[in-house]
Amino acid sequence: MESILLLAHVEADGKLAKPALEALSAALELGADPGAEPGAELGTHLTVGLVGADAQVAAGQIAGAGAVRVMAVTGDAFAQPRYATDAAAAEALCRAAGAKLVLAPSTSRWSRALPGVAFRLGGRVDTHATGIAILNGVPAVTRWFYRQRMEAVLTRQQRPWMVLLDAGCVPAWSGDAGVAAVETIAVEMPPSRTEVTGIQAPKADQQTIRPDAKLLFVAGAGWTKKQADGKVHGAEAESLILNFLRTAKASLGGSKSLVDLSGEGEAVLQFMTHMNQIGQTGSTPRHPKGLSTCCHGEEPHVVGWRFITERRAINLDANCGWARGKADVLYVADAFEVMREVNRLLGQEAPRG
Ligand SMILES: Cc1cc2nc3c(=O)[nH]c(=O)nc-3n(C[C@H](O)[C@H](O)[C@H](O)COP(=O)(O)OP(=O)(O)OC[C@H]3O[C@@H](n4cnc5c(N)ncnc54)[C@H](O)[C@@H]3O)c2cc1C
């Protein structure tokens, strides 16, 4: 088995986040002896390379993963997300570990830094991998192409081969914490013009995109259309949707028609942006369940539902796209009425607009 390096950033609390623990599961599985039980310990093939202010707590967090060698590049400069420092740290860890395969979670930091590191090392990089396994004796990466329409399995001869693993594809590693030895790799702070002065982000309860949510709630353009009384009910639509998201802790998706409307500054669904768009030209999130409302279920939209396990839709039109084998359950009903009742049952009756 080829030697493996797993790269991970240490978070502000000193620990490793879920995407890093998922990548650790994938690395352990990949390096396990052929014939061993899935998840068996890897032994010395695996090195974990940590980058952050300090690595001791994170190393201890994964001590239960077995005889894993831990190296780290540490210091305040390496806690901040910045290409120059992330790339310098990753390059130093790759050279020190001498690994042929380098795995990392598809975080924004690694996605930005690792292609450049692969170039510096004369290696190759593949992004958005959904799995990695041994096939015919060599590592093979699974990923989707053409907006998630075709799944390919690919191998490469060039080394080091860097693979960025998408989140949500394998269970996160969990095990006992302990004490682990950390080998420190010294890296000079490279010349940099970038200073991180802070992070601006919406408050957690204002954030509508929640990758870890159990439910994806999709709103379509129907919410903004004239209803049976000949009027548009934008304010009520906004309140019904936001109340539901708050109580169900669901993630919010939108159809292209709806997010385009919001982008034009229409007075409806102000919280909807292009970041919420699901589909061929939008995103393809992973959630166990999905509920589509006031959305027609056309193919360019539904292609973004590929990784939603159980699909339900509410539409007034019994002949909408969802009725054609795209949803497990279609409620032919008025989404305003249904969501009013759902919110009432959830104990949060929404005010009428
Ligand atoms: C190249 C290309 C790429 C595209 N990429 C994407 C993409 O990434 N994502 C995407 O979403 N689309 C994409 N589209 C557009 C897609 O084809 C559709 O036009 C779009 O998804 C339609 O959005 P919608 O269903 O919300 O709106 P509409 O088609 O207007 O449907 C509104 C629905 O709401 C229902 N409705 C209205 N009132 C109610 C009510 N009270 N209760 C219940 N139901 C109600 C109506 O019956 C209707 O079915 C793409 C198109 C092209 C050509």
**In the chain, what are the domain boundaries?**
4-184, 204-345
pLDDT of residue 42: 46
Secondary structure element (H or E) that encloses residue 35, with its range = none
CATH fold for the domain made of 204-345: Rossmann fold (3.40.50)
Tokens representing residue 152 in the block: 């390919």
Atom of ligand 1 nearest to the CA of 295: 25
DSSP 314: E
Note the pLDDT tens digit of each residue in 284-343: 999 999 999 999 999 999 999 999 999 999 999 999 999 999 999 999 999 999 999 999
Atom of ligand 1 nearest to the CA of 338: 42
Q: 166 alpha carbon to ligand 1 midpoint, in Å?
A: 27
- CATH number for the domain formed by residue range(s) 4-184: 3.40.50.620
pLDDT of residue 40: 47
Q: 216 alpha carbon to ligand 1 midpoint, in Å?
A: 16
Closest-CA residue to 288 (of 208, 217, 215):
215
Which stretches in the chain have pLDDT values below 50?
35-43, 353
Rounded to two decimals, what is the model's pTM? 0.81
CA distances to 158, 197, 271 from 141, in Å:
14, 37, 37
Residue 10 has φ and ψ, to the nearest 5°, of: -85, 130
Q: 210 alpha carbon to ligand 1 midpoint, in Å?
A: 22
Note the pLDDT tens digit of each residue in 48-72: 999 999 999 999 999 999 868 999 9
Contact at 8 Å (CB) between 344 and 322?
A: no
Strand, helix or coil for residue 315: strand
Q: Which residues line ligand 1 (CB under 6 A)?
A: 220-222, 225, 227, 255-258, 277-282, 294-296, 298, 300-301, 304, 314-317, 320, 334-336
Would the CATH topology of 4-184 be identical to that of 204-345?
yes
Atom of ligand 1 nearest to the CA of 223: 38
Candidate from 280, 326, 337, 338 with most ligand 1 atoms within 8 A of CB, to mutate: 280
End-to-end CA distance of the chain: 63
CA angle, 341 then 292 then 266, to 5°: 90
